Amino acid sequence: MAAGKLISPKVSTYDRFIPYRPHLNVDVAHARVMSPPSGARNCQSPWYDESLLIYSDVLGGILDTPGHKQVLPIFQQSPEATSPTTPLFDDPKSCSRKTRRRVASSPKNILDMPKIRNDFYTNVLDWGQSNKIAVALEQTTYIWDVESKICKKINVASEEEQASLYFVSAVCWDNEGHLVATGDNKGHLKVFDPETEKIIQNIGGHGKTTISVLRWRTHELYTGNRNGGVIQYDTRCPNLGGRRLGHGQDVCGMAMSHNSHHVVTGGNGGLVRLWDLRTHQCFRTIKAHSACAKALAWCPWRSSVIATGGGAQDGYIRLWQIHTGEMIGEVSTNSQICGLLWSQEYQELASSHGSVTPENNDIVLWRMSRFQFEPQTRLQQHLARPLHMALSPNGTTIASAGVDEMMCIWECFPENRDHLRRQSSSTLALDQMIR
């Protein structure tokens, strides 16, 4: 450095350009990148096309706004201004018409469900990979074949159980859709074959505690009970007993991750626990809600995100990042959240709501663009709270069972990929290869 030479300080210390992608309009950015350069109005330029230039001028006048000419917008608002924890609306009825896609407002089928229990702490509906629905009504489990419309009535209770105040409190298909597991209010766990209508295994016991929820993982069965227990059983060794994981409070919700490495459990007090099934250890506990957390669902396209729903005294649907425990979104519904289901193809979330007023016991579809809640449509048929929901194996249809003793079959997510082609038509779409 030469002596006496004055070095002026840098005006800015920024060394990177960081775009804020939630404000990115991919179609507009693509139009700007592909538009001709400023000198293209020369007739000798290979870009020159009078009609194209006129169209570009009109399009630019509509899309461009002063001060926002950049292709990748920069984050210019304070984090408080875009906080994902701010409720977007208070009433599920306020679904904007312009954000709705066309969804059949009436169920495809309605089936009678006599004697279905009005018990929030039960899970008596499941849709198996064999395209059959299992539903438990008091002491009896029914298997309904969706394609043939044939219904089987299966009662696996013993004479002693039938003589007592016995009822099936949880049902679940295995991963292949061949076997059904049931749990009851006496703590008995049974596995039966719907084809032969015979019990294959009668596994363990919970000390006469009601089994609230069941989930399969290959040869393992995970159960949650009203004593706050989460227990894992191996169906290959039913006599060895189970491994107790624990939860701490009444367990009424459980969801298995899509890679089967994690399971989330929810119960009274809004407590949610995340378990690593490779170590059988709880790696995170979240105080997700101020009331019972029964509705739990893993995001199918983002494996580290779960959705949870609170009970009547809470009424919130919240999204969580499991590795950090951070809440990344929420919406208030002013109603009890009974169930949650994701649609991977449409990137939507379905929620079932329980209310004391008949007109509010609905299923709401939410569009989840960038994990922001946008109400899509409401499905109104149930006259009492729809306590249970299940998704078909192909992800197109929802079954909902309510306290009004009805099961409705809704075609919510038809197999139509036109909307996906429109979404990815831009060469700048973030899920496409750049080179």
pLDDT score of 364? 95
pLDDT score of 248? 75
pLDDT at 95 over 90: no
End-to-end, the C-alpha distance of the chain in Å comes to: 44
Alpha helices in 198-344 (DSSP H): none
Give the separation between CA 98 and CA 376, rounded to whole angstroms. 9
* Helix, strand and coil in the chain, % to nearest 5: 15, 35, 50
pLDDT score of 183? 94
DSSP E strands in 161-217: the ranges are: 168-173, 180-184, 189-193, 198-203, 211-217
Beta-strand pair 388-391/326-332:
unpaired
Q: Percent of the chain having pLDDT more than 90?
A: 56
pLDDT score of 415? 85
pLDDT score of 406? 95
Vertex 352 angle, CA 348 and 354, to 5°: 155
User: How large is the average pLDDT for residues 227-251?
Assistant: 82
Vertex 145 angle, CA 224 and 393, to 5°: 60
**Assign residue 400 a region: left if phi > 0, alpha if psi is -120 to 50, beta otherwise?**
beta
Give the separation between CA 160 and CA 141, rounded to whole angstroms. 17
pLDDT at 303 over 80: yes
User: How large is the average pLDDT for residues 315-331?
Assistant: 95
32 vs 179, residue with greater confidence: 179
Dihedral of CA 251/375/347/318: which sign? negative
pLDDT tens for residues 96-120?
A: 445 568 898 899 999 999 999 999 9
Length of the chain: 435
Helices (H) then strands (E): counts for the chain = 4, 28
pLDDT at 259 over 80: yes
Cβ atoms 305, 318 nearer than 8 A? no
Half-sphere CA count of 424, side-chain side, radius 13 A: 10
pLDDT score of 413? 94
pLDDT score of 204? 66
Give the separation between CA 7 and CA 27, rounded to whole angstroms. 45
pLDDT score of 97? 47
pLDDT score of 386? 96
User: How large is the average pLDDT for residues 280-309?
Assistant: 95
pLDDT at 87 over 70: no
Contacts of 152 (CB under 8 A, 6+ apart): 142, 143, 144, 194, 197
pLDDT score of 431? 44
Give the separation between CA 252 and CA 310, rounded to whole angstroms. 12
pLDDT tens for residues 399-424?
A: 999 999 999 999 999 986 555 444 44
Cβ atoms 230, 246 nearer than 8 A? yes
pLDDT at 234 over 60: yes
Task: Name the 3-class secondary structure at 82.
Answer: helix
Indicate the DSSP class of residue 160.
Answer: H
Contacts of 291 (CB under 8 A, 6+ apart): 269, 270, 310, 311, 312, 313, 314
Best CA proximity match to 85, nearest among 318, 291, 270, 284 = 318
Give me 179's structure tokens. 């076997």
pLDDT band for position 148 (cuts 50, 70, 90)? very high
